[in-house]
Chain A
Amino acid sequence: DGGITQSPKYLFRKEGQNVTLSCEQNLNHDAMYWYRQDPGQGLRLIYYSQIVNDFQKGDIAEGYSVSREKKESFPLTVTSAQKNPTAFYLCASLGTFFGELFFGEGSRLTVL
């Protein structure tokens, strides 16, 4: 089945550690996005990539990094510079027609 796979679903991190969240899609979509979700704040854009080897900062990129070496993959690294990383992270890709986003199941990161 086509879709977006995020892993891990749950992740615990100690302060000062970097962690990488995986996002893989087999929908052959060019554009991919990372959002952060906190209670009552909706979805906030971290990074997006319109094409392989290119990505742009979103509204809250500080403390995060990404890469886009393959069309299928858009991993997000939460660095130790991110001051409040505990959140739910959502990866999405952009459908071919009319702007529909396809979402993964999300990854919940908890900093201990």
Chain B
Amino acid sequence: AQSVTQPDIHITVSEGASLELRCNYSYGATPYLFWYVQSPGQGLQLLLKYFSGDTLVQGIKGFEAEFKRSQSSFNLRKPSVHWSDAAEYFCAVGAEGGSYIPTFGRGTSLIVHP
């Protein structure tokens, strides 16, 4: 069964600092990997996704993520955080075949200090 671990419940950074949110997954083959962002009281918005090819993927709002098969990781990065990036971030994994049921991590809450 597939699973996703986001080891950090909260991350606090200063505005302008770099950011890295960790995500580890468990799945036998190459999965589809996603990062979503959620503002308070809102739905989730897709930041970026990986399914094949270049292991460094670019997303919206200046985010990027790197797929590392050897570490079963898909960490999200941003070189310079803006106050508007404060939100909840979810990593998710999906796979082809049968019923498609994406699995989500528990989320990481990003706090941005001015």
A binds B: yes
Q: Which residues of A contact B (CB under 8 A)?
A: 4, 6, 31, 33, 35, 40-43, 45, 48, 50, 56, 58, 88, 90, 92, 94, 98-106, 108
Q: Whole-angstrom distance between the alpha carbons of A106 and B42 in the complex?
A: 6
Q: Which of A42, A48, A102, A108 lies in contact with B105, CB distance below 8 A? A: A42
In the bound complex, residues from chain B placing their C-beta under 8 Å from that of A88 are 41
In the bound complex, residues from chain B placing their C-beta under 8 Å from that of A40 are 9, 106-107
* B99, A105: Cβ atoms closer than 8 Å: no
Q: Whole-angstrom distance between the alpha carbons of A25 and B92 in the complex?
A: 22
In the bound complex, residues from chain A placing their C-beta under 8 Å from that of B90 are 42-43
Say yes or no: is B56 at the interface (Cβ < 8 Å to chain A). no
Q: Which of A41, A101, A104 lies in contact with B102, CB distance below 8 A? A: A101
In the bound complex, residues from chain A placing their C-beta under 8 Å from that of B32 are 98-99
Interface of A is mostly: strand
In the bound complex, residues from chain A placing their C-beta under 8 Å from that of B36 are 101, 103
Q: Which of A41, A99, A103 lies in contact with B43, CB distance below 8 A? A: A103
Say yes or no: is B12 at the interface (Cβ < 8 Å to chain A). no
Say yes or no: is B51 at the interface (Cβ < 8 Å to chain A). yes
Within 8 A of A (CB), among B65-93: 90, 92
Q: Whole-angstrom distance between the alpha carbons of A88 and B44 in the complex?
A: 12
Q: Whole-angstrom distance between the alpha carbons of A31 and B99 in the complex?
A: 10
Chain B positions 91 through 102: 1 when the CB is less than 8 Å from some CB of chain A, otherwise 0: 010111001111
Q: Whole-angstrom distance between the alpha carbons of A102 and B90 in the complex?
A: 14
